[in-house]
Amino acid sequence: MAVQVGSQSAQGVEAFLSLGLWENWRAEANLALLHAQYDDFQQSVGGVAVNFAGNQPQNVPEKVANLWLTWAFAPRWEARAGVQIVGETFGDFANTAKRPSYTLVNGGLDYQVTPTSRFSVRVYNLLDEVYPITGSSTMWLLGRPRSFEVAYSTAF
């Protein structure tokens, strides 16, 4: 369902850091902090005009962070482990249907087949967390359960 919003604004900051820790080890981290709000948004609720100005927009987290550790443990082999944190969101304009923040652990193993191709095995949500990604006060759509993916990529 699309709803016409008068105006909304957002201010934020994002930072990224990549460090070579030791030989064959790399850490990468990013953090995004956001303050988003409806500036001018009125809607008729039960025949009464309700002003949602100042509320956080639906499905917009104010905090997202990722941390990845990569280990090149052998020639052409690389293993990765990562943690993803997504802050709480709201499923309604009034900010009463709060969805909790969640933390996921992901990983992967890559083999560099040729200089331009790579074979990868990835695991998402390794700890099989149950978490909502969208929804309202009466129901949620849950995020991806523990799952695996195999990929072969090549560049031309």
Tell me the whole-structure pTM to 2 decimals. 0.83
How many domains are contained in the chain? 1
Domain span holding position 83: 7-154
Whether residue 122 is contained in a domain is answered as yes
Whether residue 1 is contained in a domain is answered as no
Whether residue 127 is contained in a domain is answered as yes
Tens digits of residue pLDDT in 70-127 = 999 999 999 999 999 999 999 888 898 888 999 999 999 999 999 999 999 999 999 9
Whether residue 105 is contained in a domain is answered as yes
Tens digits of residue pLDDT in 127-137 = 999 998 887 77
Whether residue 13 is contained in a domain is answered as yes
Whether residue 50 is contained in a domain is answered as yes
Tens digits of residue pLDDT in 11-58 = 999 999 999 988 899 999 999 999 999 998 888 888 888 889 989 998
Q: Which of 141, 144, 124 has the alpha carbon at shortest distance from 58? A: 141
Whether residue 2 is contained in a domain is answered as no
Is residue 150 within 8 Å of residue 118, measured between CB atoms?
no
Whether residue 147 is contained in a domain is answered as yes
